[in-house]
Amino acid sequence: MEQQGPAEPRVVVTGLGMVSAAGPDVGSAWQLIREGRSALAPVELFDSAPYGGALSGEALHLERERGEDRSLQLLRLASAELLADSGWGEEQRGADTGVVLGTCQGAIENAKGIHRSFSSRPHTAPTSEDRRAFAEYRPGFGTQFLADRLGAEGPRSTVGMVCVSSSVAIIHALDLLRRGAARRIVAGGFESFSQFVFSGFHCIGALATGRLRPFDEQRDGTVLGEAAVLLTLERLEDAEARGAHIYAEVLGGGYAADAFHMTAPDPEGGGLERAIRHAFADSGLGTDDVDYVCAHGTGTVFNDGMECATFGRLFAERAASGTMPAISSMKSVFGHTLGAAGALDAVASVLALDRGMLPPSVALEQPIADWDFVCGTGRDCNGELKIALSTNSAFGGNNSALLLARIQRGAQG
Amino acid sequence: MTSDRVVVTGFGVASPFGLGIDALYDGMLAGQSMVGELPSPRSALAPGYGGLVTLKASAIRGLPNSRDMRPGTMTRYTFLSTLALGNAMEHGDCPWDDGDGALRRGFYVASYTNSDRFDKYVRFAHHVIDQDQDRPFINDSEVPQAIRKFSGFEFLKLMNNMPTAHGGIQGRCQGPCNTFLGTPSGGAQAIGRSLAAIRDGLADTMYAGGVGSSAHDHMMMVRATRGLNSSAEVAPVQAGRPFDRGATGIVPGEGSAVLVLERESTARARGAKIYAELAGYGEWFAPPATREGVQPGPEATIRSMAAALKMAGADSGDVDVVAVHGESRNDLDALEASALAESLGSRVSEVPVMALAAHVGSVEAAVGPMGAALVLQALETGKVPGALNRQDPLPEYQGPTSSESVTMDARLGVVSLTTREGVSSALVFRKLEN
């Protein structure tokens, strides 16, 4: 990275939309975070007894509808909240508005539907339900669907990087805004809970036998969830001109690969460290500036160990002086939402900055390092929380980092 | 931001003609189509023909840094992507064991999806008949048993970032890596965003490309329900008919291509052969047509090409050769032809238009990168293939229709894509004086 210091134009977050296991909106998610409660519950979508029983982060408040893929149902609701929260009108429709989304498997449940009609009878005429399911199946459809709902005719792109998909989508959106490709972009991610993906995680032994316990000595796996999480990013000058509420500024981002193993992370976290250093270079910040790390924290032995190795090296001086930034993971509240996870962590960070409260990890009882892990309930920061670092890592050795900053009330800009 | 130009120092291709640009280009110069009958059980699905890459898994073995690559852990998309990247590394004589050089190298690749093996999962999960509706459906209670017949790799290899993950290891790319999904324009987007990544100082070298495998059950079913497949009633070699009134639909195909992009200074420092400058990129977006149909007009394609030419400091009068999507369905081809006519103006009748679909079928997100490889080869050799299966052109198409290849002093080539998803993109390559 050659760039140093904040880039122009400055980009801020002016709207949020989120549907998750916690509830149908951002408010219900923040309430759970503040109270340090978990939304994880026994699997409802299918009988999990053959798997030995398990928890999930399903959006149980949201009835499953026939006739629309679950992931699109989540996206539709999140987009309605986003539109209202962003205060958009007709003037925000058109070619200056873009959509960049990340997803792991898109409308994966539709893939089962694909074979319902064809595997046994390949030459029968497709039904209208078939046509709908097939049209929605490809991973890029969610982006198209959302752009259609928002009237967004600007840049569209879909990122498929598993667990870093939506954080990389936010970084791409930041890049597009900086180079003037659009004035505002809705960025984020979506993922529905599916038996197929659950089964896959089960067969690789990545699921928790009980609670999801990020950064805990007793952690033994993750719990899968579902969510659609959206953020409105726009240029600071535009946000100020229209009097929008500014949640936070996006200072910079970075991503980098391990090139180590196609599924296992580099145990030393070399790729994650490079991603964070890229984000520092992009924003002009350094390790001393970070007040809070919203870590990936999946609760698996390998991921959390890799992250701690990275943080220990990156923040070595602060660890030695007992001034480590506060660290927590949102997975124990919402489950691992895969393609939506990066955006969910970004929203948690944005809300933490906006409301001056550190989000806790739930079920963290025996931390694996003697650092400032936030646990219990939300921790009031008395205005000391200024910079948040949100990090994510994925199968395949892909890593991302976002740096977000609080905007001073009455002194925006 | 760097003032260095970004240049192409290698390009790799895997196509039904074989491995490497020469196999593809020679086949196209000879006017050949590699679309043929599909082997069983694929032939059970209409149209029953397509352009398959027939390279064996062992083809990977001889490629740079590929000794440990395991095709058994790859989907078709990942396998084809790996072939093209390895071929590009070989073509560009690219270093991979250069220590910290890996930190300044990235890989952007596009694929429509990566779920070609989903059929295997479904077979394991057993179909049962819903008596009320007389329709087969998946018995969810069998899924736990079914998934146990998957190994962990069987599941993980379906993740959409696996082409990137394998490529990152193969090319030793520890810089920015990304996967673009869901549109045939994705490959051109991957190249365009790689240009930006180098110019912004994120990397010195980017591998960038795309992969398509539209000849497996999954995608053939997807298209069949939307009525997009070509007719089973036509001869396979005549099925791919870009811009021709006789086109009946999308022809299943396979392919992949990867470009090696470098800062000019980096390329010259290592004595690399420079094929061309990647001088411009443009993308534009039509209002999304979410479920059926195509974008309302050609404006997005016109604007994307204009933006790319502007970035390159060129205009339509400089364009010597074009590679396009040419989907082989009249509705989208008419839009693309209209955009070409508007963009090229009075020169539209003389600028050769290369369209892969006639030779290998639909290659999805690889169409941009493979088109780029064709343009680069045209700039390099001065030969351009003639038009195949374009005897009865659409009224909107005003370009050349001759099947004869032409020889020309090509200096500037454009890749221009119009897509059903409303995402248009364009790349401009300029030959450099060495």
Residues A203-260 pLDDT 10s: 888 999 999 999 999 999 999 999 999 999 999 999 999 999 999 999 999 999 999 9
Q: Are the beta carbons of A119 and B122 separated by less than 8 Å?
A: yes
Determine the distance in angstroms separating the CA of B311 from the nearest CA of chain A, rounded to an integer: 13
- Residue A68 burial class via C-beta count within 10 angstroms: exposed 0-12, middle 13-18, buried 19 and up: middle
Report percent pLDDT > 70 for chain B.
88
Taking residues B111-134, what's their average pLDDT? 59
Which is higher by pLDDT, A77 or B116?
Answer: A77
Q: Which of A3, A160, A256 sits opposite B201 (nearest CB)?
A: A3
Range of the domain at A324: 11-405
B235, part of any domain: yes
Instruction: Tell me the average pLDDT of chain A.
Output: 90
Chain B residues touching residue A203 (CB < 8 angstroms): 147-148, 150-152, 155
Q: Within this chain, do residues B60 and B141 fall inside the same structural domain, yes or no? A: no
Selecting from B118, B180, B202 the residue whose C-beta is nearest the C-beta of A1 gives: B202
Residues B141 and B214 both lie in one domain: no
* B15 and B26 together in one domain: yes
Instruction: Say whether both B419 and B353 belong to one domain.
Output: yes
Q: Which two tokens stand for residue B336?
A: 């693309």
- Count of the separate structural domains present in chain B: 2
Higher-scoring residue by pLDDT: B345, A412: B345
Residue A5, in any domain of the structure: no
Residue B39 covered by a domain: yes
> Quick one: pLDDT band at residue B136, thresholds 50, 70, 90?
very low
Query: B398 lies in a domain?
Result: yes
Q: What is the pLDDT of residues A109-120, one digit of tens each?
A: 666 655 555 554
For residue A400, is it within any domain? yes
Give domain status of residue B1, yes or no: no
The alpha carbon of residue A375 is apart from the nearest alpha carbon of chain B, in Å, by 32
Contact state of A47 with B141 under an 8 Å Cβ cutoff: yes
Q: Which of B132, B156, B180 is the last residue of a domain?
A: B156
User: Is residue A2 one of the residues assigned to a domain?
Assistant: no
Tokens of B232: 């089973």
A-chain CB neighbours of B186 within 8 Å are 140
Last residue of a domain, one of B106, B128, B156: B156
Residue-level pLDDT at A50: 81
In a domain, B294, yes or no: yes
Q: Residue A308 catalytic?
A: no
Note the pLDDT tens digit of each residue in B191-214.
999 999 999 999 999 999 999 998
A1 assigned to some structural domain: no
| pLDDT tens digits, one per residue of A274-301 | 999 999 999 999 999 999 999 999 999 9
- Domain assignment present for B279: yes
For residue B70, what is the domain's CATH number?
A: 3.40.47.10
Q: How confident is the model at residue A196 (pLDDT cuts 50, 70, 90)?
A: confident
Q: Give the pLDDT confidence score for residue A123 in this predicted structure.
A: 47
Query: Do B135 and B208 share a domain, yes or no?
Result: no
User: B106, B132, B156 — which closes off a domain?
Assistant: B156
Residue A296 is among the residues annotated as catalytic for this protein: yes
DSSP, residue by residue, A344-378: HHHHHHHHHHHHTEEPPBTT--SBSSSS-B-BSS-
B171 shares a domain with B47: yes
Among partner residues B146, B161, B423, which is closest to A162 by beta-carbon distance? B161
Any catalytic annotation for residue A202? Answer: no
Candidate list A278, A296, A375, A381, residue with the active-site label: A296
Give B41's contacts in chain A (Cβ within 8 Å).
Answer: none
What is the CATH number for A347? 3.40.47.10
Same domain, B12 and B146: no
Neighbour-count burial of B113, counting CB atoms closer than 10 A to its CB (0-12 exposed, 13-18 middle, 19+ buried): buried
With contacts defined as CB-CB under 8 Å, which chain B residues touch A98? 285
Closest to B225 in 3D by CA, of A248, A401, A283, A130: A130
Q: Residue A74, CB half-sphere, CA atoms under 13 Å: how many?
A: 33
Residue B65 dihedral angles phi and psi, to the nearest 5°: 50, 35
Q: Are residues B382 and B419 in the same domain?
A: yes
pLDDT, tens digit, for every residue of B379-426? 999 999 999 999 999 999 999 999 999 999 999 999 999 998 889 999
Task: Give me the domain span that covers residue B386.
Answer: 6-116+157-430
pLDDT band at A107; cut points 50, 70, 90? low
Tokens linked to B198: 């180098």
- The full length of chain B comes to 434
A3 found inside a domain: no
How many Cα atoms are found within 13 Å in the side-chain-facing hemisphere of A238?
A: 23
Per residue in B280-329, pLDDT tens?
999 999 876 655 667 878 999 999 999 999 999 999 999 999 999 999 99
pLDDT the model gives residue A4: 47
Closest residue on chain A to B168 (Cα):
A259
Q: What is the separation of C-alpha A216 from the centre of its chain, rounded to a whole number of angstroms?
A: 21
Residue B138 has a pLDDT of 56
- To the nearest whole Å, the CA of B136 is away from the closest chain A CA by 5
Q: How many domains does chain A have?
A: 1
- Cβ–Cβ < 8 Å for A27, A21: no
The answer to whether position A412 is within a domain reads no
Q: Are residues B189 and B277 in the same domain?
A: yes
Residue range A54-94, pLDDT digits in tens: 899 999 998 877 777 889 999 999 999 999 999 998 888 89
